[in-house]
Amino acid sequence: MSFADFPEQQQVVQLLQRSLDRGRLAHAYLFTGGDIDELEAMAQTLAKTLNCQQPRKSESDNALDSCDRCSSCLRIGESLHPDVHRVRPESKLRIITIDQLRDLMEQVHLKPTEAQFKVAVIVGADRLNVQAANAFLKTLEEPPPRSVLILLSTEPERILETILSRCLRLNFGGESGSRFDKAQIGWLTTFGEAASSEQKGLLSRYALLGTLMARLVQTKTEIEKTLASRSPLERYQDVDSRLREQWEEELSAAIEAEYRRHRTGLLAGLQWWFRDVWLQTLAVPADLLSFPQLRKSAEALAKRISPKEARENLQVLEQTQRLLHTNVQETLALEVGLLKLNL
């Protein structure tokens, strides 16, 4: 099987072929769609083309494809190639365990024995358990040289946001990737325009911090009003002091949990926008951006920084998310993160 066998997925095929021709491959891809077999076949085809001994080019547009006949292609097709590995859910719980993931990553970190690239395919990436997903993040942060990671999923909404933002997502069947409402898009527009402006001094960094903190304060205020209106404290004034204290503690805990959830979502939006910046540094087509309506601001920043600096920004935001899950002071964590960004 070669790229020519996917006539209904020409947009995806053309993107991959352009990347191969220009030598601008992503370290990690996420293939999403409704047919896991089709996704796996495409992953196998990409692995073949990467390592084909006699790659061919089409007469019409000179696009690269595998020969599907050489020793490398045949062994990849039969799952016998020593440099192409895959993992899938095999336990009774239908999950990919940390032991499976560690074995896979151990193979990927070894130098290729025969091929040009090591290829690791994770079939059903949405079935990674928490420990395996966290372990995989470390590989995404520092991908081994001469390696390509390909994640396959029919339920990408179950994959950690931090993993999603580090992969180049290719949707099979025109699936929409947008999960942000108008208010979130509006705030991201304001932030993106400020972040992409030519002002690079400390004052501009702290202005960005002010924009972010103002949004968080507004979010917390709205949560407090909403949850307080639903609390029994609003309906029952004359109650036992111990019961009132219990209700107050429950309300406080609920507000904090809901606020943390919204804060994580807000920062996830930033991660997606900075991912668009990274994709723009790689000259990826606009139809693959998470926020095509924010293309101008992402493009403006992409012109000033390198792909390496753009990837570092994703790492900074991931580190900030992790810090905020500890007892670190919120303002301090966000301040340090924004000061580290390449703008």
Q: pLDDT for 275-285, tens place per residue?
A: 999 999 998 88
Residue 129: the pLDDT is 85
- The count of domains in the chain is 2
Residue 95: the pLDDT is 86
Where does the pLDDT of residue 174 fall: very low under 50, low under 70, confident under 90, or very high at 90 and above? very low
Whether residue 97 sits in one domain with residue 76: yes
In a domain, 217, yes or no: yes
Strand 64-65 and strand 84-87: pairing?
unpaired
Residue 60: the pLDDT is 56
Residue 69: CATH number of its domain: 3.40.50.300
Give dist(CA 242, CA 244) in Å, integer. Answer: 5
Task: Give the chain's mean pLDDT.
Answer: 87
Which of 144-158, 167-181, 317-331 has the lowest average pLDDT?
167-181
In a domain, 176, yes or no: no
State percent of the chain over pLDDT 70. Answer: 96
Residue 316: CATH number of its domain: 1.20.272
Whether residue 278 sits in one domain with residue 150: no
Mean pLDDT along residues 198-202: 78
Say if CB 60 and CB 102 are below 8 A apart. no
Say if CB 144 and CB 118 are below 8 A apart. yes
Residue 81: the pLDDT is 95
In a domain, 200, yes or no: yes
Residue 176: the pLDDT is 37
User: Per-residue pLDDT for 177 more than 50?
Assistant: no
In a domain, 47, yes or no: yes
Whether residue 150 sits in one domain with residue 29: yes
Mean pLDDT along residues 108-120: 92
Whether residue 83 sits in one domain with residue 164: yes
Residue 231: the pLDDT is 81
State percent of the chain over pLDDT 90. Answer: 45
Final residue belonging to a domain, choices 152, 171, 190 = 171
Where does the pLDDT of residue 134 fall: very low under 50, low under 70, confident under 90, or very high at 90 and above? confident
Whether residue 212 sits in one domain with residue 109: no
In a domain, 177, yes or no: no
In a domain, 233, yes or no: yes
Final residue belonging to a domain, choices 150, 171, 192 = 171
Whether residue 189 sits in one domain with residue 167: no
User: Per-residue pLDDT for 62 more than 90?
Assistant: no
Strand ranges in the chain using DSSP code E only, listed in sequence order: 28-32, 56-57, 64-65, 84-87, 118-123, 147-153, 168-171
Where does the pLDDT of residue 329 fall: very low under 50, low under 70, confident under 90, or very high at 90 and above? very high
In a domain, 193, yes or no: yes
Residue 93: the pLDDT is 67
In a domain, 42, yes or no: yes
pLDDT top residue among 173 and 112? 112
Residue 178: the pLDDT is 46
Instruction: Show the domain range for 200.
Output: 182-340
Where does the pLDDT of residue 61 fall: very low under 50, low under 70, confident under 90, or very high at 90 and above? low
Residue 39: the pLDDT is 92
Residue 306: the pLDDT is 95
Say if CB 87 and CB 123 are below 8 A apart. yes
Whether residue 186 sits in one domain with residue 141: no
Residue 234: the pLDDT is 75
Whether residue 125 sits in one domain with residue 93: yes
Whether residue 190 sits in one domain with residue 167: no
Whether residue 213 sits in one domain with residue 130: no
Whether residue 214 sits in one domain with residue 290: yes
Cα 300–303–308 angle (5° rounding)? Answer: 120
Final residue belonging to a domain, choices 140, 171, 202 = 171
User: Per-residue pLDDT for 256 more than 70?
Assistant: yes
Name the burial class of residue 9, with classes exposed (0-12), middle (13-18) and buried (19+) by CB atoms within 10 angstroms of its CB. buried
Mean pLDDT along residues 2-28: 86
Whether residue 272 sits in one domain with residue 239: yes
Where does the pLDDT of residue 212 fall: very low under 50, low under 70, confident under 90, or very high at 90 and above? very high
Tell me, rounded to whole angstroms, the distance of Cα 296 from its chain centroid.
21
State the pTM of this model. Answer: 0.55
